[in-house]
Amino acid sequence: GVMPKVVANESHAAASQDDCKGASRGRSWGLLVTAGVGGTLVALYAVVLPFVTPALRRVCLPFVPATSTQIQNVLRMLENRSGSLVDIGSGDGRIVIAAAKMGFKAVGYELNPWLVWYSRYCAWRDGVHHNTRFYISDLWKVSFSRYTNVVVFGVPQMV
């Protein structure tokens, strides 16, 4: 009469070990999924952050893209002018590229490196990279006296 009890206990012990293996397997999948989602969010945050927030500066100057109407207004003001042009806080480079298409030697200064790289790419794509220069620089530390035309296209805090 003792034998069946021992067998029952052994099978119960084996079943509980299998349950533990299944639970740990499920836990590791959960960790992998969590790590994957977390890694994706961190990568997305790193890419989007420079466009959403200004590039760590003492005075907060957010990136506000110029509308096509605003660019047309700037170009209209430049119609009878020539020489070199600088855009202070050039952002995504639209004004610099548009001025280069009009024949200006155009330069943009922007503190946010992501926007500078994007500007350089756009200038290359539009075939005006030989007439444009984009610099990663704090606009408060650059002298603009050598430029004939200075465009300050910014927010009220900047002016």
Highest mean pLDDT: which of 12-16, 27-31, 47-51, 82-86?
A: 82-86
Give the predicted TM-score (pTM) of the model: 0.58
User: Length of the chain, please?
Assistant: 159
Over the stretch 52-67, which tens digit does the pLDDT of each residue have?
554 444 445 566 777 7
Over the stretch 64-101, which tens digit does the pLDDT of each residue have?
777 788 888 888 888 888 889 999 888 899 999 999 99
Give me the phi and psi of 109, to 5 degrees please. Answer: -115, 130
Give residue for tokens 């012990």.
Answer: 13
Give the separation between CA 62 and CA 49, rounded to whole angstroms.
Answer: 12
**CB–CB of 103/79 below 8 Å?**
no
